[in-house]
Amino acid sequence: MKTDLNKKYLPLTILCIIVLFALVILIDPVGPLEGKIDPIFGLYVSRIIKISAVYAICALSMNMVNGFTGLFSLGQPGFMAIGAYTCALLTLTPEAKQAVFYLEPIAPFLANIHAPFIVAMIVGGIFAAIGAFIIGFPVLRLKGDYLAIASLGFSEIIRVICVNAQSITNGANGINKIPTDITALLIFVVLAVVTIFMLVMMKTSYGRALLSIREDEVAAQAMGINLFKHKMIAFVISGFLAGIAGAMLASIVGAIDPKQFMFTLAYTLLLMVVLGGQGSISGSIVGAFIVTIAQEVLRFVDEPINIGPIHYPGISGMRMVVFSILLMCIILFWSRGIFGNKEFSWNRLFGKKAKSKLKKEGGEA
Amino acid sequence: MADERKLILETKDMSIHFGGLIAVNSFSLKVYEHEIVAIIGPNGAGKTTAFNMITGVYTPTEGEIFLDGQKINGIRPDILTSHGMARTFQNIRLFKNLTVLDNVLIGHHVHKEAGFFSTVLQLPKAAKEEEEMRKHSLELLEFVGLLEYKDEIASNLPYGLQRRLEIARALATRPKLLLLDEPAAGMNPTETEALTEFIHEIREKLNMTILLIEHHMQLVMDISDRIYVLEYGKEIAHGVPKEIQSNPKVIKAYLGEEDDE
Amino acid sequence: MTLDVFLQQLANGLMLGCLFALIAIGYTMVYGILRLINFAHGDIFMMAMYVAFFTITIFHIPWYISFIIVIVVTMLLGILTEKIAYKPLRKQNAPPISLLISAIGISYLMENVAIVLFTGRPKDFPQIPFFTSMTQLGPVRVQNLAIMVPFILIILLVVLLYLINNTKSGMAMRAVSRDLDTAQLMGIDVNKTISFTFAIGSALAAVGAIMWGMRYPQIQPLVGLTPGIKCFIAAVIGGIGNIKGAVIGGILLGLIETLIVAFFPGLSGYRDAFSFILLIIILLVKPNGLIGEKIADKV
């Protein structure tokens, strides 16, 4: 987006951004409009759009580690859980906490703290980043598949803690009554900030250093790149992003419990990243929207359908089968995904390809 | 030999054992500033192993290695690079899916001073640094003759140019010592000739010190100031190209090898 | 804790460990050949349990015949997963990360298919008195199974090692795990060898699944997840790629898990986290596992 932000297409880009944000405000009216007009597509759609945007942040978080740095981490659910629980505990009012923690009273140090959502979200992100930093020390020294298992393990440990630390997390019952006042506008602003951050970062020396690790660790190290340090940078930022996404998710849904952060969540995120194209920022965002919306749309395969004489009884769970078949098909037949490792650009959309010097001077190659 | 010149690289009795096998045995080597030194030897003579010890991939079992007077045994490759040693690989290890320019830019990252956040937030100092990196990279690409291909994906370059790019990438780290691991491997005679010229040019114009491993005799004889010959992990001869060419031990070690090639 | 209780726990831990070992072998064999975590292995294990449930409880086939059916079906399933999820990528020469994603994909697929076919409601695994009745062994009272399982493990291990070291297929397996490309050049049928490896790994998982089902008789579509991951960890602890390592790692993990909970009952909720903590420690202290060889990167 940034690279070929040609003067020519600048007005188009600005127009698109304005339209996008106008839509965001229309699906979830804020400020003076709040209460005056109804969400144009109804509450159900605005909720799905909100969740999609949050998953887009999660997908970007995973893409940072898996797509750019070439590490295979499945720790996102753990980081999201940290963010979500932090946010829940900070935004619940003391009275609400008493009501929620009825099995075992909440730990005294948590009982009376209260913070606005923005603060809670950032604190959640920071805690997740700290978690990433601590876990990064042992696991980032591991290669490919070991890292996958170890990060998965981390995520499971967090979940097990959430189930057992009754006085902090309310155990398996989870926490409900979380204030759900987060607006679509706020989510999209955060998403935009994160996207711009990523785009800029990938154009700097640090971004290129991450890519070089993905391309060839041995060569990257020989070029003087401190592998551990750069992997850690990617991992901690990814943790932070997953943390704020978790916080936002808690605020949209209003109730969290450990089951939401099973490692199957990591698979869903993986599907988003792979579908969009590993290593593509635009890809992760598009992938997240497609997958989240498709999950809703595909609900029809769980329901009975009558098309004329044909009666389909509706099989509950079929949706996830279709979904996993989709993941397999993408991996097996279309592993580049929608964007490959490229970014969205008007030039590409309008079919103008950059000319290659090599092809022009055919004899040279 | 005029030994007043500055020593860039020195190994003293460098050895490495893998289990019972002694891959390199008590190898001592000196590379002076502005010199081109070659290590040659038949396949399996321990050249690459010696190279890997110097570049920090392996830690020698015995002996010492000094870069510019500083002991570097067992120091990680990335730190060595920041101390002024850069290398290429026998089987070309470019960042294949990145552009030619990006490959060279990554070589500059080792001297990056600005931290992560000041870089991403594009604070003035960091932004200036990025700008200088880009400028220097373009100059370097011009020097090696790859400027016109700067936006090509590295793996799309023809083989000879990939070699050149790999060397350019190593030069981007601003080394005192450049190590080339079989730079002529897989090249045709025309490409090899161009490479010979190129290596000369690097030495002259950039005042570079170069250590290389090579199979290709003609290239080695043409460009090296001095040559070390390894066989079964031990040095069997060293000297200027003329001496090596007429050394009976070297001829014997190479007889079979020459036939093969 | 009295000695009796300790011995009782030791017996439990040993049995759990042997079951881990049986499953871990499958992981280690596949990893040895393809350098890939076969995420689907835990789901193969789950499918084996369902096959056993259907043949015994629903179709009333005598258990000794059912077991054979279970093993054969599971073997075929193992080969099938390889053909669907890994072989096409091997042909494309895809990067390892794609294989890993594919592994996750096929595992996810099997779980979701199981949910549709068998519903999420837990089913009771058939109890076969021959295995599940209790025996008094000195101060310890255990299921017959607890006594049999270690022997079954030893017998299968001996057969397996014989197969690998003394048969042609075994030799091909070793060659492929050492260097797939060279083995291919030497005329070894790599695809057949890989199928063979999956078949054996799956067969062992099937045996493990039957025993597991009788010990922990509730089955549901996600039953393979936790044991699957734990067994992979066991294989890593022992030294991935090494069959004896997988056995040692499995037994160790089973004992540690059981005994920690026995000594510190307060920690029982954290049971599933132990193996991960152990994994991280082992990888830091001995990255190649307890008896594994170093797999070096070529420069």
pLDDT at A6: 58
Which pLDDT band holds residue A3 (cuts at 50, 70, 90)? Answer: very low
Which tokens hold the place of B170?
């190593």
Q: Which of B99-113, C235-249, C269-283 has the least mean pLDDT?
A: C269-283
Which tokens hold the place of C131?
């295995």
> Which of C85, C273, C299 is the closest to A328 by Cβ?
C85
Contacting residues of B for A208, CB less than 8 Å apart: 98, 102, 105-106, 109
- Mutation test of the interface with chain B: which of A199, A202, A203, A215, choosing the one with the most B Cβ atoms within 10 A? A215
Residue C231 forms contact with A (CB below 8 Å):
no
Between CA A38 and CA A27 the distance in angstroms is 8
pLDDT at C294: 57
Q: Which ipTM did the prediction report? A: 0.89
Between CA C102 and CA A267 the distance in angstroms is 11
Whether C223 shows a pLDDT value over 70: the answer reads: yes
A184 in a structural domain: yes
- Domains, chain B, in order of start with CATH, read 1-84+175-261 (3.40.50.300), 94-172 (no CATH)
Q: Which of A315-324, B216-225, C50-59, C98-107 has the least mean pLDDT?
A: A315-324
SS3 category, B23: strand
CB atoms inside a 10 Å sphere around CB B199:
23
Residue A213 forms contact with B (CB below 8 Å):
no
pLDDT at A353: 58
A360 in a structural domain: no
Helix (H) or strand (E) holding B199: helix B189-206
Whether C54 shows a pLDDT value over 80: the answer reads: yes
Contacting residues of A for B170, CB less than 8 Å apart: 223
Residue C153 forms contact with A (CB below 8 Å):
no
pLDDT in tens, B120-168: 888 999 999 999 999 999 999 999 999 999 999 999 999 889 999 999 9
Between CA A188 and CA A23 the distance in angstroms is 11
Whether B118 shows a pLDDT value over 50: the answer reads: yes
SS3 category, A339: coil
pLDDT in tens, C156-187: 999 999 998 899 888 898 888 888 888 888 88
Q: At what angle do helices C271-285 and A117-139 cross, to 10 degrees?
A: 50
| Structural domain spans, chain C | 3-285
Looking at the structure of chain A, the number of domains it has is: 1
Q: Tell which wins on pLDDT, C271 or B257.
A: C271
Size of interface B-C (CB pairs under 8 A): 3
Between CA B164 and CA A246 the distance in angstroms is 47
> Which of A223, A225, A356 is the closest to B152 by Cβ?
A356
Cβ within 8 Å, pair A160-C273: yes
Nearest-neighbour CA in chain C from A248: distance (Å): 26
Tell me the β-bridge partners of B86. Answer: B178
Nearest-neighbour CA in chain C from A28: distance (Å): 34
A319 in a structural domain: yes
pLDDT at C297: 47
Which pLDDT band holds residue A252 (cuts at 50, 70, 90)? Answer: very high
Residue in chain A closest to C34 (alpha carbons) equals A145
Mean pLDDT in residue range A39-55: 87
pLDDT in tens, A192-225: 999 999 999 999 999 999 999 999 999 999 999 9
Residue A208 forms contact with B (CB below 8 Å):
yes
Residue ranges making up the domain that contains A255: 7-304+315-348
Which pLDDT band holds residue C14 (cuts at 50, 70, 90)? Answer: very high
Between CA A101 and CA A111 the distance in angstroms is 10
Cβ within 8 Å, pair B93-A358: no
Between CA B228 and CA C13 the distance in angstroms is 61
Q: Tell which wins on pLDDT, A97 or B94.
A: B94
Which pLDDT band holds residue A16 (cuts at 50, 70, 90)? Answer: confident
Cβ within 8 Å, pair B152-A223: no
Cβ within 8 Å, pair B156-A356: yes
pLDDT in tens, B23-33: 899 999 999 99
Q: Which of A27-36, B230-239, C194-203 has the highest mean pLDDT?
A: C194-203
pLDDT at C298: 47
Cβ within 8 Å, pair A222-B108: no
Chain C (36-55) residues lying within 8 Å, Cβ to Cβ, of chain A: 36-37
Contacting residues of B for A133, CB less than 8 Å apart: none
pLDDT at A107: 84
Which tokens hold the place of A302?
């769980």
Whether C140 shows a pLDDT value over 90: the answer reads: no
> Which of A219, A227, A364 is the closest to B95 by Cβ?
A219
Mean pLDDT in residue range C135-139: 79
Between CA C154 and CA C286 the distance in angstroms is 26
Between CA C113 and CA C119 the distance in angstroms is 9
Contacting residues of B for C299, CB less than 8 Å apart: 52, 57, 89
Q: Residue C45 class from Cβ within 10 Å (0-12 exposed, 13-18 middle, 19+ buried)?
A: buried
Residue in chain C closest to A326 (alpha carbons) equals C105
Nearest-neighbour CA in chain A from C221: distance (Å): 12
Contacting residues of A for C108, CB less than 8 Å apart: 264, 267, 324, 327
A70 in a structural domain: yes
pLDDT at C206: 95
A354 in a structural domain: no
Whether A310 shows a pLDDT value over 90: the answer reads: no
Cβ within 8 Å, pair C88-A335: no
Chain C (240-299) residues lying within 8 Å, Cβ to Cβ, of chain B: 299
Q: Which of A178-192, A292-306, A320-334 has the highest mean pLDDT?
A: A178-192
Q: Residue B64 class from Cβ within 10 Å (0-12 exposed, 13-18 middle, 19+ buried)?
A: middle
Mean pLDDT in residue range A11-22: 83
Closest listed residue to residue B179, CA positions, set A222, A225, C296, A218 = A222
C-beta of residue C178 within 8 angstroms of C-beta of residue C188: no
Which pLDDT band holds residue C130 (cuts at 50, 70, 90)? Answer: confident
Give the neighbours of chain B: at least 3 Cβ pairs within 8 Å: A, C
CATH number, domain with residue A288? 1.10.3470
pLDDT at A360: 45
> Which of B107, B152, B156 is the closest to A223 by Cβ?
B107
Which pLDDT band holds residue B261 (cuts at 50, 70, 90)? Answer: very low
> Which of A212, A221, A226 is the closest to B95 by Cβ?
A212
- Whole-number average pLDDT of chain C: 88
Whether A355 shows a pLDDT value over 70: the answer reads: no
Mean pLDDT in residue range B226-232: 91
DSSP state of A341: T
- φ/ψ of B217, rounded to 5, equals -60, -45
Map chain C to HEC letters. CCHHHHHHHHHHHHHHHHHHHHHHHHHHHHHHHHCCCCCCHHHHHHHHHHHHHHHHHHCCCCHHHHHHHHHHHHHHHHHHHHHHHHHHHHHHCCCHHHHHHHHHHHHHHHHHHHHHHHCCCCEECCCCHHHHCEEEECCEEEEHHHHHHHHHHHHHHHHHHHHHHHCHHHHHHHHHHHCHHHHHHCCCCHHHHHHHHHHHHHHHHHHHHHHHHHHCCEECCCCCHHHHHHHHHHHHHHCCCCHHHHHHHHHHHHHHHHHHHHHCHHHHHHHHHHHHHHHHHHHHHCCCCCCCCCCCCCC
- Mutation test of the interface with chain C: which of A324, A336, A341, choosing the one with the most C Cβ atoms within 10 A? A324
Q: What does A73-100 look like in DSSP terms, one character per residue?
A: ---HHHHHHHHHHHHHHHHS-HHHHHHH
Tell me the β-bridge partners of B171. Answer: none
Whether C154 shows a pLDDT value over 60: the answer reads: yes
Whether C40 shows a pLDDT value over 60: the answer reads: yes
Residue in chain C closest to B52 (alpha carbons) equals C299
C-beta of residue A104 within 8 angstroms of C-beta of residue A211: no
Tell the residue number behind the tokens 């960890």, with chain if given: C233
Closest listed residue to residue B167, CA positions, set A223, A208, A212, A226 = A223
Calculate what percentage of chain C has a pLDDT beyond 90: 41
Whether A325 shows a pLDDT value over 80: the answer reads: yes
Residue C185 forms contact with B (CB below 8 Å):
no
Cβ within 8 Å, pair C112-A324: yes
Tell me the β-bridge partners of C244. Answer: none
A278 in a structural domain: yes
Q: Tell which wins on pLDDT, A352 or B37.
A: B37
Mean pLDDT in residue range B62-86: 92
Q: Tell which wins on pLDDT, B46 or B95.
A: B95
Whether A57 shows a pLDDT value over 70: the answer reads: yes
Residue in chain B closest to C297 (alpha carbons) equals B57
> Which of A141, A150, A218 is the closest to C297 by Cβ?
A218
Which pLDDT band holds residue C202 (cuts at 50, 70, 90)? Answer: very high
Contacting residues of A for C105, CB less than 8 Å apart: 267, 324, 327-328, 331
Q: Which of A106-115, A226-235, C210-219, C272-281 has the highest mean pLDDT?
A: A226-235
Chain B interface residues facing chain C, Cβ-Cβ under 8 Å? 52, 57, 89
Contacting residues of C for A270, CB less than 8 Å apart: 101, 104
Whether B244 shows a pLDDT value over 80: the answer reads: yes
Closest listed residue to residue C107, CA positions, set C35, C27, C177 = C27
Contacting residues of A for B78, CB less than 8 Å apart: 221-227
| Domain covering C3-285, topology | ABC transporter involved in vitamin B12 uptake, BtuC (1.10.3470)
Q: What does A129-198 look like in DSSP terms, one character per residue?
A: HHHHHHHHHHHTTS-HHHHHHHHHHHHHHHHHHHHH-HHHH-GGG-B--------HHHHHHHHHHHHHHH
Whether A153 shows a pLDDT value over 70: the answer reads: yes
CB atoms inside a 10 Å sphere around CB C124:
11
